[in-house]
Amino acid sequence: MSSFSYFTLIFFCFSSLIAISHAINNAFSVELIHRDSVKSPFYDPTQTKIQQLLNDVRRSINRANYIKKVLSSNINKFESSLIYDNGLYMMSYSVGTPPFKVYGFIDTGSGLTWIQCKPCNICYNQTSLTFNPSKSSSYQNIPCSSLTCKSMKDYACSNDGEKCEYTMNYNPGSKTQGDLSVETLTLDFTSGYVVSFPKIIIGCGHTNTLAFDYNGQSSGIIGLGKGNMSMINQLGSLIDGKFSHCLAVNEYYKMFNLSSKLNFGDVAVVSGDNVVSTPFDKNKDHYYLSLEAFSVGNKRIKFGGFKGFNSSYNIIIDSGTPLTLLPGKYYDRLESTVIEVVELERFQDPTSSYRLCYNTTSSQHPKFPVITAHFNGADVKLDINSAFMSIYEGIKCFAFIPTIDAFNIFGSATQVNYLVGYDLKKNIVSFKPTNCSKF
């Protein structure tokens, strides 16, 4: 292992991925599971819908505040900005040889995939079994002397000077720390194939602390960000820098039982009729888009000129934030416009989490205006069930919330029933209206 180098890693990755690419024709999909789905290890039949609503709002605000903190302080920029509790969509996969099943939250803001590992110095209470790297014949630590380790912006050597160690700090008192390693990851494709990807760089966390109550069925996170160590860049030429997701609508007053999809490579290409595309800022770690305005019907409300933004790229598109967060003054203008247009009886959310809700049973033919997000070069007409979320039967709430001095985020709720594709070579995000429950 002492002779392991960055170039050796690249060689193994390249040769292995060429072989795999021929086997799966550069295109594959995996199932995504909403954390509140009956298919999820997080599913809690005793949790009320009120609790789910509060959790979505809390996760959205916490994540926005933390992303701002990370970006403004320049902390661990290659790493994840995820607050661990905030994961919304997860996928199951296996790690090691023989394959060991784990669950990970996907995150488009993350630069590293990591899992909790034995031996645990300090670990959160993971209710599923914890991965033991000593039981895997394919596990290898990355040495501190390697270029892979030194290419990280933040790294440390183990006490014996041999192993490369990573540390990822989240909100105060929460972090994951462990060994940077290479390991085999195995995915179950929706096509029925099971394929292993060798020599993938992951973090093997031995010290994992969380500063809040946490239900620990998840083993860690899956990084889909732009960093060199993200899953997207490690799969490299196999997927040609392309991935997409299609998030299905799950009504809050019903059980979450629909699955969504995460696509890679050729099958991730967003093409055909009604496709619109917008560039993202290639110089930033997150996927920053340029939002020019929102429209409510034919009434356009210009967006921009906010404190903290020195470019036209002014909003982050994010898979881990449930709701769309906008600056308070701008949100007020948007909300006022919606109120002017919607002719339905208002409903007071008992949790005070959502400021604008309507009783759709008050009208025989309830109508909502078309909400359009006007990005640079792309007008995205939001699905009615994403702009207005069903929180109870007959009750819909505006899926936007105001923030005070926080980063603007285009959340996952407003992305449902769209095939959203990322192309890291062209530096664009594409949108296509799609019935994701049948995709």
**Residues with catalytic function:** 107, 318
Compute the Cα dihedral for 137, 142, 146, 148 and give only its sign: positive
CA 395, CA 435: separation in Å to the nearest integer? 22
CA 190, CA 192: separation in Å to the nearest integer? 5
CA 254, CA 249: separation in Å to the nearest integer? 11
| Cα angle 207, 208, 212; round to 5 | 145
Q: By C-alpha distance, which of 437, 362, 436, 354 is closest to 397?
A: 354
CA 247, CA 412: separation in Å to the nearest integer? 8
CA 226, CA 422: separation in Å to the nearest integer? 10
Amino acid letter for position 283 = N
Adjacent-strand bridge partners of 379: 374
| Cα angle 137, 143, 144; round to 5 | 155
DSSP state of 202: E
> Cis omega (within 30 of 0) on the bond before 98?
yes
Task: Decide: 296 and 341 in contact? Cβ < 8 Å.
Answer: yes
Structure tokens at 356: 């604008």
DSSP state of 369: P
- φ/ψ of 33, rounded to 5, equals -120, 125
Give the residue carrying structure tokens 């900005």: 81
Contacts of 383 (CB under 8 A, 6+ apart): 249, 416, 417, 418, 433
- Alpha-helix runs per DSSP H in 29-86: 49-73
